[in-house]
Structure 1
């Protein structure tokens, strides 16, 4: 599984998953998903939980994981896949999840894990009552696929005919054996099955629901300033401006600890080329904004990476000035023997423009295989970075707020050998409620 390529695809390929008139799922990247799942079923499912993954890509992972057989997988892997699929079903906007589950039904996938997942979605989703009212035919179709049409309708008939005291003993045994053993709350499940088969009208669920809770969304404020782009960067700005270090430095340490709490350590050597040129300082309303965000990333990396080397180019992190020689700094960073190099810059190559690109193209010819990625520090989410790409051959990603680190770190670490294990551990922690 090519983890960097897959993560990039997950955050850029925003094409809907559709059902054809004949009912077959239509998705142009089915082979990519299938190959990734076959190479590492658990790792593939966990990658879908990485912040920044698009909802339609998460829907595809849900479809691929539920439609595939779990025969031959270990108990631990099956448990992880069950947790991951539940997180995706309940975390996706409902319209996306319903589409993915209908695709599973059209493929006639009917494994045990598929049955449990569909029953959980129909009867245990936090918004199940609204979903049943809005999409009753679709959810009834899913419910009958999971249990079998005859069994599902028998359960519904027994529940509809039961008294206030509950169903008769024989009926109760049938319900336990065929339905309630799949549910966490039998009373709620029974009520929702009654609603699912109750007469009435239904509406259309809006195709775009609020953002999925799988990713905390950082709303860009109406006016972006150097001090409203995350607590770490804001504290650094105050330090750069001469604020009271005795008060600010302990606060800074606490903010870094909060961001990195629960994150695993990356068992690799990472080198950072840090642009400390005059353009990183900025001026006017943006003074210190970009430099503080780059320094925030540096502080987070220092806590997460087992071995971190920083090569500054230009002035210094405390006094950015002059021009940055990114090409020479990259060669110096590679000389430390790292497993991964991050070039953290605003993208303005103000010393020998084009030099970095020429060095990057030459490295493979010189036998250098160390992965190098470009992390572009921006002022806002909407910055135009078209002319801020000093090395088009390098993988690149921008960041403007410290909340972007949740997606930036997995993407960057995926380029080195230890990255997949780091992502796996971090996403397992998310599943367990750690983050």
Structure 2
């Protein structure tokens, strides 16, 4: 499974799933989803921050619709946790569309039964959802158990049966809280008003929720960058460096290591410094990404590309990570100066035969404009297939990048806040061979609650 284009599709294709009144399902990229192999990796890819809700709904649909025959217990457990995270992390209307589509597709697997009953009877907003979407949820409930069995269970509950053998075998064995399940089945078949307002926000958002202030400054774009700004401004290094190491450790806590060789071309030209109220903002964010990559990658080589840049940073290998490594990485913080020469930095980076080259820049290329694009275009003709990605450091999410695209052919992704790293790292690593396993491991950590 080539995860790089698949992840890009997940983050850009926002067409909704549409289920017509006649039951026809409009799913314009069904073949792409069905052709994705490695069902475990495919499902976990939906948890990457930045994946669009309707794409996550498609992953939920395919994961539930497919048979799990032949899968081992570990994989089934991962798929069960992933589908539950998606069901409770997506807008409820998206999930109901998926469940009705499963009914239309006649998907009757046991994992579908468990998933449908978990959504209908265990959702934190079950009461409001039943009031708002009673007919749809009743259809889903009857599809999960079978119409005759579902209605028999509802009749027994209405008659006061809360624990007969039939009820336990047919319904309660699929639920984690039988008493609550009985309450919601009673509500599902009780007279009520259809058309109430359903909850719009999921109870467990899949993407990290950042606390961004309305006014952006160089020091409210994440703790790592803020500390670096204070260092650049001449703050007390004896106090700031230990704090910086702590913030980097917190940002990378629980993340797996990438067993590969990554080269980073770091733009240290004069434009990276900025001016006025934006001074040091972009440079500090770029260096923050460098420090995070340093802790995550087994081997990171940094090539600084300012006209007056220091010599290329040393390769950082296994065993040099931790607070001392962070302190060493910023001991001679790059002081932006001169013009941008990204093409030379790229060629220097490729000499080490890395698994991936990450170009980090603000996008201004003013030494030889277009040189990076020409260098990138020449790589295939030279037999060089190393993946190269462009990460653009910006001041805000809304920066105009129309005149800041030095290599349009390169995959590129902007970032402006430390919170963006949660989605930026998987997107970056998806372009290299070791990245597939890294993304699976990172999303499993999120799924197990190791990171929020």
Deviation per residue, 1:194-215 (Å, 9 max, x gap): 0111111122445853696111
Query: Structure 1: how far apart are the matches of 2:203 and 2:336?
Result: 38
Partner of 2:116: 118
Partner of 2:195: 203
> Quick check: 1:278 aligned with 2:294?
no
Which of the numbers 85, 107, 110 marks the counterpart of 1:109?
Answer: 107
Partner of 2:305: 313
Which of the numbers 373, 387, 393 marks the counterpart of 1:357?
Answer: 373
Partner of 1:72: 70
1:78-157 matched pairs, under 5 angstroms: 78-157=76-155
Contact 1:95 1:209 in 2 (8 A): no
> Quick check: 1:262 aligned with 2:262?
no
Contact 2:128 2:199 in 1 (8 A): no
Give the C-alpha shift of residue 21 in structure 1: 3.0
What are structure 2's unaligned runs of at least 5 residues? 310-332
Partner of 2:57: 59
Q: TM-score, normalised by structure 1?
A: 0.96
Query: Structure 1: how far apart are the matches of 2:198 and 2:74?
Result: 37
Q: TM-score, normalised by structure 2?
A: 0.92
Partner of 1:396: 412
> Quick check: 1:25 aligned with 2:41?
no
Query: Structure 2: how far apart are the matches of 1:205 and 1:411?
Result: 36
Which of the numbers 235, 238, 242 marks the counterpart of 1:246?
Answer: 238
Contact 1:278 1:320 in 2 (8 A): yes
The answer to which of 388-397 and 93-102 deviates more is 93-102
Contact 1:95 1:205 in 2 (8 A): no
What are structure 1's unaligned runs of at least 5 residues? none
Query: Structure 2: how far apart are the matches of 1:318 and 1:66?
Result: 50
Which of the numbers 433, 442, 445 marks the counterpart of 1:426?
Answer: 442
> Quick check: 1:228 aligned with 2:244?
no
Partner of 2:318: none
> Quick check: 1:372 aligned with 2:406?
no
CA RMSD in angstroms comes to 1.3
Query: Structure 2: how far apart are the matches of 1:370 and 1:208?
Result: 44
Deviation per residue, 1:383-408 (Å, 9 max, x gap): 11111110011000000000000000
Deviation per residue, 1:274-303 (Å, 9 max, x gap): 000000000000000000000000000000
Which of the numbers 323, 326, 334 marks the counterpart of 2:342?
Answer: 326
Give the C-alpha shift of residue 3 in structure 1: 0.4
SS state at 2:389 partner: strand
> Quick check: 1:216 aligned with 2:232?
no
Query: Structure 2: how far apart are the matches of 1:398 and 1:23?
Result: 40
Partner of 2:426: 410
Partner of 2:288: 296
Query: Structure 1: how far apart are the matches of 2:406 and 2:412?
Result: 10
Query: Structure 2: how far apart are the matches of 1:377 and 1:48?
Result: 25
Query: Structure 2: how far apart are the matches of 1:16 and 1:434?
Result: 31
Deviation per residue, 1:29-51 (Å, 9 max, x gap): 11111111xx1100000000001
Give the C-alpha shift of residue 218 in structure 1: 2.7
Deviation per residue, 1:309-366 (Å, 9 max, x gap): 0000113443100012100100000001100000000000111000100010000010
Query: Structure 1: how far apart are the matches of 2:254 and 2:350?
Result: 30
Q: Cα 1:378–1:210, aligned 2, differ >3 Å: closer, same or farther?
A: farther
Which of the numbers 147, 155, 158 marks the counterpart of 2:156?
Answer: 158
Give the C-alpha shift of residue 217 in structure 1: 2.9
The answer to which of 264-273 and 74-83 deviates more is 74-83
Contact 2:125 2:199 in 1 (8 A): no
Partner of 1:348: 364
Query: Structure 1: how far apart are the matches of 2:349 and 2:338?
Result: 20
The answer to which of 358-367 and 313-322 deviates more is 313-322
Give the C-alpha shift of residue 221 in structure 1: 2.3
Query: Structure 1: how far apart are the matches of 2:115 and 2:197?
Result: 21
